[in-house]
Amino acid sequence: MKSRYAFLFLVCLLPHCLWAQFKLNIGDDSPIRKLTIAEMAVQNLYVDSVDEAKLVEDAIRGMLKELDPHSSYSTPKEVKALNEPLQGNFDGIGVQFNMIEDTLLVIQPTVKGPSEKVGILAGDRIITVNDTAIAGVKMPKEDIMKRLRGPRGTKVRLGIVRRGVPETLYFTVVRDKIPVHSIDAVYMIRPEVGYIRIGNFGATTYTEFMQGIDKLSKQGMKRLILDLQDNGGGYLQAAVQIANEFLNARDLIVYTEGRATGRMDYHCDGTGHIRELPVTVLVNEFTASAAEIVSGAIQDHDRGTIVGRRTFGKGLVQRPIDLPDGSMIRLTVAHYYTPTGRCIQKPYKKGDLKEYEMDFDNRLKHGELTNRDSIHFADSLKFQTLREHRTVYGGGGIMPDEFVPLDTLQYTRFHRQLAVKSVIINSSLRYIDDNRKELKKNYATFDQFSREFEVPQSLIDQIIAEGEKAKVTPKDDEELQRTLPFLRQQLKALVARDLWDMNEYYHIINDQNHIVQRALAL
């Protein structure tokens, strides 16, 4: 460390002519030396003051930008946010919440969590945290989260406004470990047909999955629908554990290979509990990474049917490189390959992130999302499955066995704009907030709610009126009529979610999911 500062001091004193000569004396064509000298020169000789930490961060980002789309740099704050959904827990007060008119509204307290233990209820509004106002002050959501979260065992004093109670209530909550679930839904979708939706692959995914399998088996499951739609991936090991449950001993699940890392194979150990259970896997254009590993392994071994649309095509392996200040580089070191040797990664141009991010729009424009005949593969991309020798395709992503086109009529322009402007979610939150007690009284069970509840016309009218305020209107009556069926189903699902949980949300919304319905028809 002393030598570094001595070197900097020397640099600052050298005349310009000697500075050039000094560079030549220490320069030995090393790119690292070149980069170090450049940073030192800017820091010590530049006409204005500079933020050295930001300078280094920008240099790192600049280097990674010229590589592939998934090599990235994250600040310490970003690292924490990225890791929490995968680690399976975080320290906090234990509430599901949403923001409505810049006020934090409790949707549900975590069962047996710290907030439920002190008596905080669904529908409560948190207006102060340790006597600091967080409501009506337009505080950023990130700042609110920072105040609510904290180390396990620490205390936080919350000011609560509760409907029907005139004065502000105060609760002291002792923060604790709050579980983060990676499985969104587990239920019997039809007699003998179980349904499990995995949202991402995290540290607790395998345990949650096996608990779900046990639950459904006791309810008479004879077949399984494994829903990986919109699953952006996560931990490789979690994907390997899930695939291991379906395949036989020594079956190859996935292998990775890179210039410096060599090939690494991941095989089944033969301990799978559901190796004979018929399975259908659901995928779409947002199914990526670890979810593609599971899909590809099941398809290549002819273990089940893949239903939906071609997956995202994220087959680059990142190795985390921790930096001293808590920041991290995620550097691509290898590719993922399915058991037949298909590279999962879709093509990309180094340094062209914009084109890569436009892939969904390009697929839609070319008709790939709406018509299977619009998808063309070169003969070099044909592979044969390992048991039945069916033709499958490489070239990026997993092409399903049963293609389900995207229904562009279901998601109208009017509906998309209502969603983007948050009109739908905010209106549903207000409806729940105004009618929670009555809904709980009228629908004692979810089964009763599912059978009897109908979205009131007043809620539809309110959404249309709020849309007009936000300058969102249907093009004509035809577009409005095409929007209403799915909008009603979505609102019913949102009400179910807020009264119960995500499991009940998918109970409702899956009735309008064409990929789920195709799987059931099969």
- Show which residues are catalytic: 289, 300, 314
Distance CA 419, CA 413 (A): 10
CB 342, CB 394: distance < 8 Å: yes
**Three-state secondary-structure class, residue 91:** strand
Q: Which of 444, 433, 427 has its CA nearest to residue 491?
A: 427
**Terminal C-alpha separation, the chain:** 67
- Rounded to the nearest 10 degrees, the angle between the axes of helix 457-469 and helix 413-420 is 80
Residues of the chain by 3-state class (helix, strand, coil), percent to 5:
40, 20, 35
Query: CB count, 10 Å around CB of 450?
Result: 15
Query: CB count, 10 Å around CB of 60?
Result: 15
CB 252, CB 308: distance < 8 Å: no
Structural tokens at position 117:
């233990």
**Three-state secondary-structure class, residue 266:** strand
Structural tokens at position 343:
């590279």
CB 41, CB 10: distance < 8 Å: no
